[in-house]
Amino acid sequence: MRQKDWDDWQKSEWVQLDQYYSQFMFGAPTRVKDRNNVFHLVWSYSVKDLDGRKKARCTCDGSTRGGKVRVLDYTHANCVDHTASRLFYAISAAENFLIFGGDVSNAFSEAPPPKQGFFIQPDRAFREWWSARGHGPLDYDAVIPVMKAMQGHL
């Protein structure tokens, strides 16, 4: 946060949260007694090689770091391992095939949420964004219901 380019990073956090908000990811702040379904947020940051754009990605921490692994539901996302993808590209090149790919913004949020609800514990980035978007300050014991699937909660 002390870097000269901090404003760029904060804007990228808010772009991510704005995308989630426009996809109806978040419910109204609430309080819960049982915190078993409350997740902390994890941010990862990268600079896109193509255009130098700063990108922040927000996910849930469903790992043992959060105290225990909590499996709320299972999804089945196809993912090709590194060896298989190299073989695919090599064979496609040898056969002179064209390969097309695509990317989806926040693909997890297109999937239905877990059957039982889950919540996120707002962090600094979320609190600043929430307040800046006109929702007012969040109580420190408030959690945010997550209304869609969110990467990292499984």
Residue 31 neighbours by CB under 8 Å, 6+ apart: 139, 141, 142, 143
Residue 121 has pLDDT above 70, yes or no: yes
User: What does the pLDDT read at residue 34?
Assistant: 82
Tell me how far CA of residue 131 lies from CA of 9, 67, 98, 127, 134, in angstroms: 18, 29, 47, 6, 5
- 151: tokens are 């990467």
SS3 111: coil
pTM of the full predicted structure? Answer: 0.71
**What CA dihedral angle connects 144, 146, 147 and 149, to 10 degrees?**
170
Give pLDDT tens digits for 41-81. 989 899 988 888 899 988 888 766 555 555 555 554 555 56
